[in-house]
Amino acid sequence: MRPLSAYHAVLLCAGLSGCALAPVLQPVPPPVAPQPAPVPAVIVPQGTAKELFRQGVDALQHGEGQKARPLLEQVLVLEPNHKYASSLLSQIDADPVDMLGKEYFSYEVQQGETLSLIAKRFLGDPFKFYILARYNDIIMSDDLEAGRSIKVPGKKPPPARMPSPVEQPAAPETSNLRLSEAKALYAKGRFADSARILEQLRMEGEASAEVDDLLATIYAGHAKKMTDSGQFAEAKKLLSKASSTYPADQRLKRQLEQTEASRDAEQAYREGNQWVNDGDLAKAYTAYAKTLKLEPEHARAKAALKKIKPQVVETYYADSVRARRRQNFSEALDSLDKLLEIEPNHELAKANRAEIRAILDREEQSRIPRP
């Protein structure tokens, strides 16, 4: 056997070393299957078809189409033939121009009108209020002021054939729609418009406990707004009407009494201002005090009373001093009594009153005949 050369010996050692140091291969774990994405929970609106329909209408009146969608879909689950829910649902995604047409005429909104009334008048369906709102780029369909110009699809009828705004007896769904509109108008402080809708419902025989309670609340809110702005006669007239409509509502009766008291309080306050202008602060103080007796939270009377009180106290004290110098003790006592009624802790006035009272008592004793 031939001996290995140095070159081959080196290669042999390197090969043996490589075999000794080669890592042991680990088995590759099988790939992990991806977890399926979680399925979002579907929340089904709860309630009766009537309740869900009203909630859907409220959402659409506030421009919340995506909020209204599941509500109206659930209405159709409960009542598959609910035509108004189906109509409103179709209006959420429909193109307004495709549904209503390109031709339109301008119409000026009248006092008390809503989009549902206009939709019923010109389109024959009050529940097309939502697509009519989208047709006019109106987000809040209940935010419609008198005098605003809107687009009404179709040709403008001649004056003689203009549809009448007079309402016909309402279907239950329409009544619910108009009740929702009245609530939205009331929330915006549009008392007259909301009351007009509810009064019309009552005239059509659609009164209910909810309608009556809301209407009485609106009357009360409107009257308070009038009272706060000094419209006492108008507030009294409205509350008298409301009380005759709801004679058992004690809230309206109390508010009518408060309105009359507020009217008298305001008159007394004005009299106080006139006495201030005339320079008679004592009479002004009396008038302001009467104001606060009728309306304890009358802020202007409180401020006026606080302002003139020190001067009135000083005036009464000065009057008592002058009367005492003239030996007119009864007049001095009267001035001090008025002062102490205003400022019971006036120590100097209390001391002087005690002295004058003692003088009067001695005079009275001296007039008693001795036996």
The CATH number of residue 304's host domain is 1.25.40
Q: Say if residue 237's pLDDT is above 60.
A: yes
Cα gap 118→41, rounded to integer Å = 40
Cα gap 26→18, rounded to integer Å = 18
**Encoding tokens for residue 108?**
């000026």
Span 41-51, mean pLDDT?
A: 77
Q: What is the DSSP letter of 47?
A: S
Percent of the chain with pLDDT over 90: 51
CA 75 to chain centre: 30
The answer as to whether 231 is a domain residue is yes
Cα gap 232→205, rounded to integer Å = 32
Q: Which of 17-31, 66-80, 133-147, 166-180 has the highest mean pLDDT?
A: 66-80
Cα gap 303→276, rounded to integer Å = 13
Q: How confident is the model at residue 309 (pLDDT cuts 50, 70, 90)?
A: very high
Same domain, 180 and 253: yes
Residues composing the chain: 371
- Inter-residue contact 141 to 60 (CB < 8 Å): yes
Span 351-355, mean pLDDT?
A: 94
Same domain, 258 and 313: no
Span 294-299, mean pLDDT?
A: 92
The answer as to whether 3 is a domain residue is no
Beta partners for 152?
Answer: 105
- Higher-pLDDT residue of 175, 137: 137
Which pLDDT does position 19 carry in this prediction?
Answer: 47
Q: To which residue do tokens 């507020």 refer?
A: 262
Same domain, 271 and 344: no
Same domain, 258 and 186: yes
Residue 46: strand, helix, or coil:
coil
The answer as to whether 43 is a domain residue is no
- Split into its structural domains, the chain has a count of 3
- Higher-pLDDT residue of 16, 324: 324
- Higher-pLDDT residue of 308, 28: 308
Helix residue spans in the chain (DSSP H): 6-21, 49-61, 65-78, 83-93, 96-100, 115-123, 129-135, 172-187, 191-203, 209-228, 232-245, 250-278, 281-294, 299-325, 329-342, 347-366
Residue 301 CB: number of other CB atoms within 10 A?
25
Same domain, 136 and 179: no
Residues sharing a CB contact under 8 Å with residue 290, sequence separation 6 or more, in sequence order = 265, 268
Burial 79-88 (b: 16+ CB within 10 A, else e): beebebbbeb
The answer as to whether 343 is a domain residue is yes
Q: For 19-36, what is each residue's pLDDT tens digit? A: 445 555 566 667 766 766
Same domain, 148 and 178: no
Cα gap 194→196, rounded to integer Å = 5
The answer as to whether 18 is a domain residue is no
The answer as to whether 131 is a domain residue is yes
State the residue range of the domain holding 202: 172-276
- Higher-pLDDT residue of 161, 247: 247
Span 211-218, mean pLDDT?
A: 92
- Its sign, for the CA torsion 267, 271, 276, 277, is positive
Which pLDDT does position 49 carry in this prediction?
Answer: 86
The answer as to whether 27 is a domain residue is no
Q: For 72-93, what is each residue's pLDDT tens digit? A: 999 999 999 998 899 999 999 9
Same domain, 58 and 141: yes
Domain end, chosen from 157, 186, 210, is at 157
Cα gap 102→206, rounded to integer Å = 37
Q: To which residue do tokens 């890592």 refer?
A: 23
Which pLDDT does position 181 carry in this prediction?
Answer: 86
Span 357-363, mean pLDDT?
A: 88
Q: For 283-296, what is each residue's pLDDT tens digit? A: 999 999 999 999 99
Which pLDDT does position 42 carry in this prediction?
Answer: 56
Q: Say if residue 39's pLDDT is above 60.
A: no
